[in-house]
Amino acid sequence: MKFLDKIFRFAGGIAPDGHKGETAGIPLRRLPRPRSITVSMSQHIGAPSVPCVKVGDRVLRYQRIGDAAGTVSSAVHTPFSGVVKSIAPSSTASTRVAAAVTIAVDPEDAGTDDSLRPIDWRSATHDEIVARVRDAGIVGAGGAGFPTAVKLSPPPGRSIDTVIVNGAECEPYLNGDNRPMVERAADIWTGAQIIRRAVGASRVVIGIEDNKPVAIKAMSEAIGTGDGEIAVLPHSYPQGSEKHIIHSVTGRTVQTGHLPADVGCLVENVWTVVSITRALEQGIPSVIRTLTIGGDAIASPANFAAPIGAMVPDIIAAAGGFRTQPAKAICGGPMMGVAMPDLEVPITKTCSGLLFFTAASVHEFGSGSCIGCGRCIGACPMGLMPAEISQAVEANDLALAEKLKVMNCFECGSCAYVCPAHRPLVQHNRRAKAIIGARLRARK
């Protein structure tokens, strides 16, 4: 193990109040077995999966209940045994609507589907590892939910020399990546080596923000004398963005429209890496994800290793319920998460947090006109000029917005966070991206 000497700082970024301490020291807990789960067929980016069970079917724990619908799609499994009660469109915590399989969970576990057998990854080939990752339904746990098997198969002519395990977790409040690094560091180190073997990389670097000293210590102990490196990154939002962690660790810049593989890098979230270890060593598909439930409306903020399909109210109940009625509910982190209009929804593989805030801590602002202070320009980690883009969007000049590279925006929200006039900068970018994106697709 060695610590990286040189970290390449990216330009821009912000330092919001982390609120990490509220749950950083709380160990991961399992959720009490729910009576019912609703497993969405849209656990990922890409085509929703196709249910492969029927209403009334008995399902075993870890049984596949949804098949991948194409390459950029994923298999879905059930975390519990039970009976399929219904298959109907449903929303999710991340507000994606798709067919969902509702299962009445057996009070006692009634058997496990063991069709995925453990694999000795040390002798496995690239194809065997990728096939297992695909069969286990592993998708990026960082938020986007991109099917991991696709990432492990770089396009022809591209080779990967550096595997980066993303433990930056720059979003405030969340510890769903921090806790696995503390508690399951060995699994993360194993998974990192599996990925390195799969893609034939020479380096493995674990990137962790410096506000997680316990995780850094645990990871360095897990790696021991192994040839893994740890990059202690300055805590600066959005350090966990794929392009930014690549830059911080390697100094390489992923050009617009290019992939990490184009600069020889592969980035995987820490929980994705744990899922890979479980899938190979134990033959367990991706049915659990870690998440933080917090915010000032929650009685006992906590970290859970929660089964996918678990309903949000069950998770709230496991965290002691509401201390005060919330005014705002967010799935994910406060910076990039989405507001949940309805709480009767299940979590998915991409749900990194459930945050509930009281009216007292939710600030609602009217937006003023841009005074040209330029803070958004200093904050944008993509080097954009949000103030100018925003004014172009207001003037309906989308050609100018496109020229100002609005399509490069990944909606991290740093600009809106620093704007003293509280302008809806991210919303303007989203609007421009949606319209310009539709035009680009129509042109093709």
Partner 1 sequence: MLDVIVALVPALVASVWFFGARALVLECTCVAACVASEWASRRVMGRPDTTGDLSAVVTGLLLAFNLPPDLPPLLAAVGSAFAIVVAKQFYGGLGYNPFNPALAGRVFLLLSFTGAMTTWSASGWVGAADLLTTATPLPPDAVTTATPLGFAKGGIRAGAAAFAMTPSLCWRMFLGDINGCIGETSSLAILAGGLYLMWRKVISWRIPVAFIGSVAAYAAILRLAAPAVAMPVSFHLLAGGLFLGAFFMATDMVTSPTTPAGQIIFGICCGVLTMLIRTIASGSYPEGVSFSILVMNAFVPLVNRFTRKTPFGESNA
Hey, what are 249's tokens?
Answer: 């660790």
Q: Hey, how many other C-beta atoms are within 10 angstroms of the C-beta on 224?
A: 10
CB 360 → partner 1: shortest distance, Å? Answer: 23
Count of positions (residues) in the chain = 444
* Interface with partner 1 (CB under 8 A), residue from 405, 427, 430, 436: 405
325 alpha-carbon distance from chain centroid: 27
Residue 32 CA: distances (Å) to CA of 85, 205, 316, 419, 428: 20, 35, 12, 42, 42
Q: Measured from the CB of residue 416, what is the shortest distance to partner 1 in angstroms? A: 16
SS3 350: coil
Residue (12 or 307) nearer to partner 1, CB: 12
377 binds partner 1 (CB under 8 A): yes
**Judged by CB under 8 A, which of 382, 392, 415, 419 binds partner 1?**
382
Exactly one of 387, 392, 419, 425 binds partner 1 (CB under 8 A); that residue is 387
Q: Residue 27 carries which DSSP code?
A: P
Query: Measured from the CB atom, is 326 or 381 closer to partner 1?
Result: 381
What is the rounded end-to-end Cα distance, in angstroms, of the chain?
Answer: 48
Query: Which listed residue (179, 235, 243, 278) binds partner 1 by CB under 8 A?
Result: 243
The yes or no reply on residue 370 touching partner 1 (CB under 8 A) is: yes
- Strand-pair partners of 74: none
State the residue for tokens 């980066």.
Answer: 164
* CB neighbours of residue 365 within 10 Å: 11
Q: Per rule CB under 8 A, is residue 254 in the interface with partner 1?
A: yes
Contact between 237 and partner 1 by CB under 8 A: the answer reads no
Q: Name the helix (H) or strand (E) containing 216.
A: helix 213-223
Measured from the CB of residue 412, what is the shortest distance to partner 1 in angstroms?
Answer: 12
- Which pair of tokens denotes residue 322? 């509401």
26, 385, 400, 435: residue in contact with partner 1 (rule CB under 8 A): 385
Q: Which of 86, 95, 125, 256 binds partner 1 (CB under 8 A)?
A: 256
Closest distance to partner 1 from the beta carbon of 417 (Å): 14
The first and second tokens of residue 321, run together, are 């319920």
Q: Which tokens belong to 441?
A: 């697709």
Segment interacting with partner 1 (CB under 8 A) among 72-80, 135-143, 295-303, 372-380 = 372-380
Query: Closest distance between partner 1 and the C-beta of residue 363, in Å?
Result: 17
**Nearer residue to partner 1 within complex by CB, 339 or 373:** 373
- Which span sits near partner 1 by CB under 8 A: 4-12, 84-92, 144-152, 157-165? 4-12
Q: How far apart are CA 283 and CA 80, in angstroms?
A: 15
Of 43-51, 94-102, 304-312, 373-381, which part binds partner 1 (CB under 8 A)? 373-381
By the rule CB under 8 A, 388 interacts with partner 1? yes
- 247 or 433, CB closer to partner 1? 247
Could you tell me how many residues of this chain bind partner 1 (CB under 8 A)? 30
* 10 counts as binding partner 1 under rule CB under 8 A: yes
C-alpha pair distances (Å), 71 with each of 135, 147, 151, 155, 242:
12, 8, 11, 13, 21
374 in contact with partner 1 (CB under 8 A): yes
Answer yes or no whether residue 224 interacts with partner 1 by CB under 8 A.
no
Can residue 384 be called a binding residue for partner 1 (CB under 8 A)?
Answer: yes
Kind of pairing between the strands at 302-307 and 28-30? parallel
436 part of the interface to partner 1, by CB under 8 A = no
Alpha carbon 87 to chain centroid, angstroms: 26
Residue whose C-alpha is closest to residue 192's, from 81, 295, 290, 273: 273
Continuous segment of H or E residues that includes residue 277 = helix 270-277
Query: 305: which strand partners?
Result: 30, 290
Residues forming contacts to partner 1 in the complex (CB under 8 A) are 10-12, 243, 247, 253-256, 258, 368-374, 377-378, 381-385, 387-388, 404-405, 408, 421
